[in-house]
Structure formats: C-alpha cells, structure tokens
Amino acid sequence: MAAIAAAVEQGRAGDRAGARQALARLWEGSADPLHRCSVAHYAADLQETVADELMWDKRALAEATALTDERARSYDAAWQVRALLPSLQLNLADAHRRSGHFDTAGVHLASALEHLDLLPDDDYGTLIRMGAEKLRAALAERSVEPLATR
C-alpha cells in the first residue's frame, strides 16, 4: 500500500506518466484483491482518455468483488468492502456518462446510491454524497463534460 501511495503522490506532483507506469507495474506484480482494487482505483484517475479510465474503473470494481472484509480490515480495521462500493460505482457511472453511455451510467449511479448509507458521516462520506448529487444532475442533463468543469 505504501508503494501505491507513493505512485499516487508522484501523479499529484505532476508526473502522471510515471505514476501510471508505477501503478501498472504494481498491478502486474500483485494478485491481492486489496492491492489490485486500490491500484486500479487510483490508476483510473491518471488516464489520458475516458476509455482508459473506464477500463481501470471496471478493474477496480471487479477486484472489489474478490475482496473480503477480513482482508480489507487487515489494512484498516474500519474498512468494509460494501463501503468502498459507492465510490467505485460512482467512478464507473461518471466514466460511462462522459463516454455517452447514459443508460449504463444510470445503472452504476443507482448501485452507488444504494450503498450511500454505509458511508461515514465525515469528509469522505460528504465528498462521495456530493459527487453522487453532481453526477445525478450531469446525467439528467445528459452532459458528457467532466464534473470539475461544470
């Protein structure tokens, strides 16, 4: 997880290509669903195209289905796999929306909304809930623009 965090920081510092390469190596070098879910989740945010972002978002959700609460809690005692799902589903919904796949985006948004009650009442929970509302509005408008530019 430390190597994943280091790659994410590399991307935040401006070396997005280097961060993508580091995360791709970590993806290939691990069979652990926790690591692979985390790698894919962060790698999606560093992609240059929506198609590549969508591919990584799909991988993150697929790895989450193989992740157990026991494994997640071995990293952080408060983690539950179901509490990760809203973020993963929202990411998929947003990438599908920006790709013009509005019906599929709606399915993933609905899945995210089903799990919002599992989120804590903290900054993270607020961030995800606000993201869900922004995504719902963008989807209603059938916008393909990134949420940050709306």
Residue 150 pLDDT greater than 60, yes or no: no
pLDDT value of residue 26: 97
Q: How is residue 69 written in tokens?
A: 């609460």
Domain boundaries, the chain: 1-79, 80-144
Q: Which two tokens stand for residue 22?
A: 């580091």
- Residue 46's nearest CA partner among 11, 13, 79 is 11
**pLDDT score for 79:** 78
Q: pTM here?
A: 0.90
Query: Buried b vs exposed e over 39-67: b needs ≥16 C-beta within 10 Å?
Result: bbbbbbbbbeebeebbebbbbbbebbeeb
2 C-beta neighbours (distance < 10 Å), count: 6
